[in-house]
Amino acid sequence: MSTLLELHNVTKRFGPVEVLKGVSFSLEAGEILGLLGDNGAGKSTLMKIITGIYSLEGGEIIFSGKPIPYPQHNPREARALGIEMIYQDLALAKQQDVAANIFLGQEPTYRFLGFWPMIDKAKMETAAQAAIARLGARIPSVKYPVGQLSGGQQQSVAIARALTFNPKLVIMDEPTAALAVREVEHVLDLARELKRQGISVILISHRLPDVFAVSDRIIVLRQGTVVADEHTAQTSMNNVVAHIVGAH
């Protein structure tokens, strides 16, 4: 295995509040890391630093062997490096169809009458179909408006879109929070499929059984500090809960 991501002593404050107090951990290529912690522990802030929404204050982050250049780092640079984040609200255009969402902003075009650039709808639908199939996702049709799909299916669309950017790391922040129980398994399968394709995953979830089912390693963040970093096979839910609530 090779190391994809290394955080060294990352700190961040919002005004007087020290949200991250020197966070260090590393992530291997093709590893699924479960990131756990109570509300307000700093999980989302940490991920937004990696994706360039926030800058870090102190410390260093190495991605693919190179330090991420803060404060210039931004979401577009993160994408170019191979970092994708699936947000809780998924950031999809609900009225538009599946194909349009997967290729939003990078639609294949042709020149009508050799001049006017037009979106090549047929090509886009074929490519969208292929992207969905590659994920093993089940979607009735790529012509369906995304808003009419179930939460789990929308999650598949967001991941299929992320995959068009050839990511090395996909961050999923609470992907199963709003899903029906039978849909959760499907999202966990998507995480496993990313791993199978050699992509690293950071999964944030409050649902311990989900994290235990898919992760290789678990990190617990408490009040901006890493309080546990353990191989999933070598820990237990009781142990992890104790770290989350601070009983250790």
Ligand X SMILES: Nc1ncnc2c1ncn2[C@@H]1O[C@H](COP(=O)(O)OP(=O)(O)O)[C@@H](O)[C@H]1O
Q: Which residues bind ligand X (CB under 6 A)?
A: 14, 19, 37, 39-45
Contact 88, 179 (CB under 8 A): no
CB of 128 to ligand X, least distance (A): 31
Give me the half-sphere count of Cα atoms (radius 13 Å) on the Cβ side of residue 215. Answer: 29
Q: Does 205 bind Mg ion (CB under 5 A)?
A: no
Integer Cα distance of 194 and 202 in angstroms: 11
Which among Mg ion, ligand X, none contacts residue 40 (Cβ within 5 to 8 A by kind)? ligand X
Q: Does 44 bind Mg ion (CB under 5 A)?
A: yes
In this complex, which beta carbon is closest to Mg ion, that of residue 35 or of residue 135? 35
CB of 120 to ligand X, least distance (A): 40
With contacts defined by CB under 5 A, name the span among 24-32, 38-46, 78-86, 218-226 that binds Mg ion: 38-46
SS3 content of the chain, % helix, strand, coil (to 5): 35, 30, 35
In this complex, which beta carbon is closest to Mg ion, that of residue 30 or of residue 37? 37
In this complex, which beta carbon is closest to ligand X, that of residue 53 or of residue 119? 53
In this complex, which beta carbon is closest to ligand X, that of residue 34 or of residue 42? 42
CB of 90 to Mg ion, least distance (A): 15
Structure tokens, 189:
């399968």
DSSP string over 142-177: TTSBGGGS-HHHHHHHHHHHHHTT--SEEEEESTTT
In this complex, which beta carbon is closest to ligand X, that of residue 4 or of residue 41? 41
CB of 19 to ligand X, least distance (A): 4
Residue count, binding to Mg ion (CB under 5 A): 2
CB of 42 to ligand X, least distance (A): 4
CB of 23 to ligand X, least distance (A): 11
Q: Does 45 bind Mg ion (CB under 5 A)?
A: no
Integer Cα distance of 41 and 206 in angstroms: 12
Integer Cα distance of 1 and 8 in angstroms: 20
Which sign, positive or negative, has the C-alpha torsion 234, 240, 243, 248?
negative
In this complex, which beta carbon is closest to ligand X, that of residue 39 or of residue 72? 39
What b/e string do you get for 44-79 counting C-beta neighbours within 10 Å, with b at 16 or more?
bbbbbbbbbebebeebebebeeeebebeebeeeebb
Give the helix/strand (H/E) hosting 58: strand 58-63
Which among Mg ion, ligand X, none contacts residue 112 (Cβ within 5 to 8 A by kind)? none
**In 10 A of CB 124, how many CB atoms?**
20
- Footprint on this chain of Mg ion (rule: CB under 5 A): 43-44
